[in-house]
Amino acid sequence: MTISSCSLFPDLFPKKKEVQIVTKSIERTIIQPIMPREIDLKEPYWYVVSEKNIDEFLSRVEKDQGQLVFFAMSVPDYELMAYNMQELKRYINELKEVVVYYRKVTIPSKDE
C-alpha cells in the first residue's frame, strides 16, 4: 500500500500541470553618455621675425610685455606640429563617429 499510495486515490491529489516556457524580449534601457562640449581653442598670435625686422620686434615686445623671452621652432618642426594637429583632429572625428553610431544603435527609435 505504501508503494502505490498516490495511485490508489487519483481524485484526492491535483493533476500535474503542464509547464509552458515562453520567451519574451525585455527592452533594456542603456544610459547614454553626455557628449562632451566642443573644444574651445584660443588662437595665439604668431610673430614672424627675420633679420630685417628684428630690431623693431625686440623694441615692440619689450614695450608691450616688459621682458623678452623667445620660443623658437624650425620650419620642419612647425610642419611636424601642424601634421600632429591634423592627426589629433582626424582621431577625434573618427572617435565621435563611433560614439554617434552607438548612440543611434542603442537609442530606441520613435517609430517603434
For the stretch 42-90, pLDDT in tens is: 887 888 888 899 899 889 888 988 888 878 888 899 899 999 999 999 9
Whether residue 49 contacts residue 59, with contact meaning beta carbons closer than 8 Å, is answered with no
| Residues 97, 100: Cα–Cα separation, whole Å | 5
pLDDT > 70 fraction of the chain, expressed in percent and rounded: 82
Residue 81 has a CB neighbour count (10 Å cut-off) of 11
Cell for 85? 594637429
Cell for 23? 520567451
Query: Over the Cα atoms of the chain, what is R_g?
Result: 37
How much is the pLDDT for 9? 61
Nearest CA to 30 out of 111, 109, 108, 98 is that of: 108
